Amino acid sequence: MTHSAGAYPETTGPLRILVVEDQVDLAENLFEFLGEERYALDFAADGLTALHLLATNQYDVIVLDLMLPGVSGFDICERIRRDLQCATPIILMTARGAIADKERGFTCGADDYLVKPFELRELQLRIEALHRRFRPRTPGLQAGPVHFDPGTLQVELNGLKAELTGIPARLFELLIRAYPNFLGHEVLNESIWGDSSGEEGHTLRTHIYSLRQALQKSLGHGLIKTVYGRGYRLDPPTEEELSAR
């Protein structure tokens, strides 16, 4: 059972969650509650299936039930950490609320422990909190859903990437650093060529055109808006525009 959807503005794709739960009713409730564009969910009814999925896929958060057929959730949690060397945050969920069980869960490598019964909204909040705490910090510059890494000169949007070079890369860096403000022709000319007189105006337009074409081809969006008579600014797509593609 898999549910996938579009991108979320804070990431380059949906939040990927592995749900390990042998109770079909609860699993279906989780999928229905979290089945929106923010999430992509995979389901495993037992621990061995979960280990296989974790060995072949990457997830942002693991929701792991303790009472599983065959191998307990405690053992699966230990194997995720020891055998797979997987650091993905794990939420244990169980009806066992004794402090000894919680202690064992955290000792096995869990990051959170949720006692049944619980509100699905609480689980969602815990998933979001763990993701914020553990998500990798990507170096670079961010403007809405657009990410730019000055080290690699790579622009990323909605899971797609464009590699820039030369003057277009420099122009993009200037524009994303200025976002949401625009940059005038004079500022761009001086920043690129050390000349604010406007003599390079035609060349600037040519490089902006090349930049737009490269972004449109790789990302599906030109991203650069002309402020007529003034200059240019970065124009990231809205969430609605991304979802419509």
- 138-193 pLDDT tens trace: 568 889 899 998 888 999 998 899 999 999 999 999 999 999 999 999 889 888 88
Q: What spatial distance separates the first Cα and last Cα of the chain, rounded to whole Å?
A: 25
| Contact between residue 54 and residue 88 where contact means Cβ atoms under 8 Å apart | yes
Residue 207 CA to residue 204 CA, distance in Å, equals 5
Determine phi and psi for 32, rounding to 5 degrees.
Answer: -70, -40
Q: How much is the pLDDT for 241? A: 75
Q: How much is the pLDDT for 9? A: 35
Residue 201 CA to residue 180 CA, distance in Å, equals 22
Task: Give residue 239's pLDDT band: very low, low, confident or very high (50, 70, 90).
Answer: confident
Q: How much is the pLDDT for 1? A: 40
Q: How much is the pLDDT for 106? A: 94
Q: How much is the pLDDT for 197? A: 54
Sequence-ordered list of residues with C-beta below 8 angstroms from that of 185, at least 6 positions apart, any chain: 198, 201, 204, 230, 231
Predicted confidence (pLDDT) at residue 44 exceeds the cutoff of 60: yes
Q: How much is the pLDDT for 89? A: 95
| Identity of the amino acid at 26 | L
- In 1-111, DSSP assigns E strands to 2-3, 15-20, 39-44, 61-65, 90-94
pLDDT tens digit string along 217-235? 999 999 999 999 899 999 9
Residue 5 CA to residue 184 CA, distance in Å, equals 39
3-state secondary structure of 8: coil
Predicted confidence (pLDDT) at residue 17 exceeds the cutoff of 70: yes
Q: Hey, what's the torsion of the CAs at 126, 128, 134, 139, to 10 degrees?
A: -170
Residue 195 CA to residue 182 CA, distance in Å, equals 19
- Global pTM value: 0.55
Predicted confidence (pLDDT) at residue 102 exceeds the cutoff of 80: yes
Q: How much is the pLDDT for 242? A: 75
Q: How much is the pLDDT for 158? A: 85
3-state helix/strand/coil string of 203-229: HHHHHHHHHHHHHHHHHCCCCEEEECC
Q: How much is the pLDDT for 2? A: 36
Residue 225 CA to residue 175 CA, distance in Å, equals 10
Residue 40 CA to residue 85 CA, distance in Å, equals 23
Q: How much is the pLDDT for 13? A: 61
Go through the domains of the chain in sequence order and give each one's CATH number. Answer: 2-134 (3.40.50.2300), 141-243 (1.10.10.10)
Q: How much is the pLDDT for 6? A: 29
Residue 145 CA to residue 220 CA, distance in Å, equals 13
